[in-house]
């Protein structure tokens, strides 16, 4: 979900306003999935590298996270959405960890999944999974996959990155092995359910061979 800061800068607004509009884009997108066959939507909300940002911006992001969890949890429950967290999220502030623990418990029986990557870095995820696999015995692709943060989720089919950047930025590197990718110039606050539908139509036109002919 890239481009919040550039969206705000283009409008001569504080970066925090761009992040706030980004949260609204998340809400609209999640709500639009209610009547679709999509099983799981994964959002890269806060990377392990984002701690390098200015302290006031990190504080703004953490406060928005607190507000989002509190305000949107009832809607998740009402719409049968299960929350799943990727990353070292227990390294966040204790009150945020408590909020997430509660949200995970209250949404555990949901039929569709919203996965959120918090304090997440894919290289670290793979290293953690490989360490756990090694402790059990032989390291194989299968043993690593069993210990990835995404182990309970369906395979990744489509990755979308907004704002014109054409790189993965340490996101789901293992899971992207055979995923389709779409890069769009649209900044995240402007990304709408219509843009998602366009991406899904493009995905449907692609032929997926997984290394075959």
Q: What is the pLDDT along the chain (213 residues), one digit of tens a residue?
A: 999 999 999 999 999 999 999 999 999 999 999 888 899 999 999 999 999 999 999 999 999 999 999 999 999 999 999 999 999 999 999 999 999 999 999 999 999 999 999 999 999 999 999 999 999 999 999 999 999 999 999 999 999 999 999 999 999 999 999 999 999 999 999 999 999 999 999 999 999 887 776
**What positions carry a catalytic annotation?**
2, 50
Burial letters 172-195, b for 16+ CB under 10 A, else e:
bebbeeeebebebebbbbbbeeeb
Q: Quote the pLDDT of residue 213.
A: 65
What are the structural domains of the chain? 4-121+181-204 (3.40.1180.10)
Whole-angstrom distance, CA of residue 113 vs CA of residue 33 = 11
Q: List, in order, residues 6 or more apart from 205 with CB less than 8 Å away.
A: none
Cα gap 102→138, rounded to integer Å: 36
**How many angstroms separate the CA atoms of 76 and 37, rounded?**
17
């Amino acid at each position: 979900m890239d481009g919040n800061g550039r969206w705000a800068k283009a409008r001569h607004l504080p970066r925090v306003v761009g992040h706030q509009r980004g949260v609204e884009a998340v809400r609209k997108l999640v709500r639009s999935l209610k009547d679709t066959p999509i099983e799981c939507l994964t959002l890269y909300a806060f990377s392990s590298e984002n701690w390098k940002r200015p302290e006031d911006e990190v504080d703004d992001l953490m406060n928005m996270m607190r507000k989002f969890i509190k305000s949107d949890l009832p809607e998740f429950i009402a719409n049968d959405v299960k929350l799943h967290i990727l990353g070292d999220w227990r390294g966040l502030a204790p009150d945020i960890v408590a909020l997430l623990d509660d949200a995970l418990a209250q949404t555990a029986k949901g039929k569709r999944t919203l996965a959120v990557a918090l304090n997440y870095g894919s290289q670290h995820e793979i290293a953690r999974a490989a360490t756990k696999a090694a402790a059990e015995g032989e390291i194989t692709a299968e043993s690593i996959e069993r210990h990835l943060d995404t182990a309970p989720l369906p395979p990744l089919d489509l990755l979308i990155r907004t704002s014109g950047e054409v790189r993965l930025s340490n996101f789901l590197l293992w899971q992207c092995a055979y995923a389709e990718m779409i890069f769009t110039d649209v900044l995240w606050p402007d990304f709408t359910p219509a843009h998602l539908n366009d991406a899904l139509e493009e995905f449907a036109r692609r032929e997926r061979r997984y290394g075959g002919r």
